[in-house]
Amino acid sequence: MTQKVSDTIEKVLLTARHSPSSHNTQPWKVAIDGSTVVVGYDSGRQLTVGDPDKRELFISLGCFIESFAGAARALGYSVTVAYVGKGPTSIAHLELKDGLQADQHLNKLIRDRRSDRRFYEPKHLESAALSHLQALSEGAAKLILFTDTADLQFLADQTYAATYTTMANPAFRAELASWIRNNWTNKPDGMPAYTQGIPGPVSLLAKLIIKKNKAVAKDQARKDSKRVAHSAAVGLICINKHSPAAWLDAGRLYQRACLTALEHGVKTSGVSAAIIDPTTTKKIVDKSGVSGEPVALLRFGYTKNSPKASPRLTLSHFVTT
């Protein structure tokens, strides 16, 4: 491996690590072999209660792959992606080739993206943002946008039901609490309470409250439902086949939607409870008539500023040569 390629891969990984992931688990593991980057996952970062079939994990890996490709393009490299397996050591091979015109603004978009879980302003998506988002697709995955008030309220109602059911499960709350951090955390992963708008002193108790208090189920369901209802749009990502490779495509589309939205000043956050719970998933499919399997829900909207970034793993945590 030439020094130039080695330096490029390091720069690309420093940007790609800012990808979204469930609970900010950052489950990716990377091995570098010449100009090839082998992407796998850290099984210790799987959400065994909330994500037993690894769907969310693979979607997170897809987000990472899309960020890697974008960060490489920013430096003038194309990336060929080959999906090679399901095991933790080798999910996809990413091959770098130079010769593209550098597109530096992609680096800034990837680094500036946040999962903005706050309430959005009462404002519709501007036409340019709407048309660019509607044009997105990736392999087996497609994005369907809902902007009608009645549709958003329906999705909000399903979000309430699914979130309440999920959060009422003590095992789920315990797993969630294990990834909650206080606002002064030094840990490089997980969700500091400021990502939910929780102030510093309260953040010190957030983990314990979530784990021990079933009443948080109703409060979280109410908040998430209201957030969905007051979004400028909600995107539903569907896949045409049930497979890990399709989940990776969904993750790539998820991140591409986040970055496309940010280019237009639109903030995003995942709110997927309603398509994880089988009862509410069926209601969404029946009412909307969408074809394929829903795998992610994504809010779009406007806020006056951006929240503080969540912590990130250093390369030494997830990269080997």
* One domain for residues 92 and 148: no
What pLDDT does residue 307 have?
Answer: 86
What pLDDT does residue 228 have?
Answer: 97
Q: How far apart are CA 113 and CA 64, in angstroms?
A: 13
What pLDDT does residue 104 have?
Answer: 87
Residue 195 is given by DSSP the state G
* One domain for residues 144 and 77: no
* One domain for residues 97 and 233: no
CATH code: domain of residue 46: 3.40.109.30
* One domain for residues 98 and 156: no
> Is residue 241 one of the residues assigned to a domain?
yes
In this prediction the pTM is: 0.96
**Which two structure tokens, joined as six digits, stand for 317?**
């945590």
* One domain for residues 252 and 287: yes
Name residue 286's amino acid. Answer: D
The angle subtended at Cα 59 by Cα 183 and Cα 215, nearest 5°, is 45
Query: Could you identify the residue written with the tokens 């789920």?
Result: 172
Torsion angles phi and psi, residue 59, rounded to 5: -65, -40
* One domain for residues 160 and 261: yes
Per the rule left: phi > 0, alpha: psi between -120 and 50, beta: everything else, 197 is left
> Is residue 14 one of the residues assigned to a domain?
yes
Residue numbers in the chain where pLDDT is lower than 70:
1
For the chain, how many structural domains are there in total?
A: 2
* One domain for residues 102 and 147: no
Q: What are the beta bridge partners of residue 122?
A: none
Torsion angles phi and psi, residue 234, rounded to 5: -130, 130
**Are the CB atoms for 275 and 149 separated by under 8 Å?**
no
What pLDDT does residue 190 have?
Answer: 96
* One domain for residues 234 and 287: yes
**Which two structure tokens, joined as six digits, stand for 41?**
């996952």
Closest CA to 100 of 118, 80, 120: 80
Closest CA to 256 of 155, 159, 134: 134
Q: How far apart are CA 149 and CA 164, in angstroms?
A: 22
> Is residue 132 one of the residues assigned to a domain?
yes
Collect contacts of 302-305 with beta carbons under 8 A, ≥24 apart: 302/120, 302/121, 302/123, 302/232, 302/265, 302/266, 302/267, 303/116, 303/118, 303/120, 303/121, 303/267, 304/121
**Are the CB atoms for 50 and 285 separated by under 8 Å?**
no
User: Domain range for residue 90?
Assistant: 3-114+309-320
* One domain for residues 35 and 143: no
* One domain for residues 154 and 293: yes
Name the strands in the sheet holding 319-320, side by side, starting at the edge strand that comes first in the sequence: 77-83, 92-98, 36-41, 28-33, 319-320
Q: Treating both helix axes as pointing N-terminal to C-terminal, what angle do 278-288 and 149-167 enclose, rounded to 10 degrees?
A: 170
SS3 state at 54: coil
CATH code: domain of residue 289: 3.40.109.10
- DSSP per-residue codes, 244-270: HHHHHHHHHHHHHHHHHHHHTT-EEEE
Q: How far apart are CA 295 and CA 196, in angstroms?
A: 23
Query: Could you identify the residue written with the tokens 């680094």?
Result: 111
* One domain for residues 140 and 99: no
Q: How far apart are CA 28 and CA 63, in angstroms?
A: 10
Torsion angles phi and psi, residue 166, rounded to 5: -70, -50
Question: Which pLDDT tens digit goes with each residue over 288-299?
Answer: 998 899 999 999
> Is residue 200 one of the residues assigned to a domain?
no
The β-bridge relationship of strands 191-192 and 180-181 is: parallel
> Is residue 277 one of the residues assigned to a domain?
yes
Question: Which pLDDT tens digit goes with each residue over 88-140?
Answer: 999 999 999 998 888 889 999 999 999 999 899 999 999 999 999 999 999 99
Residues 6 or more apart whose CB falls under 8 angstroms from that of 103 comprise 73, 74
> Is residue 185 one of the residues assigned to a domain?
no
* One domain for residues 152 and 287: yes
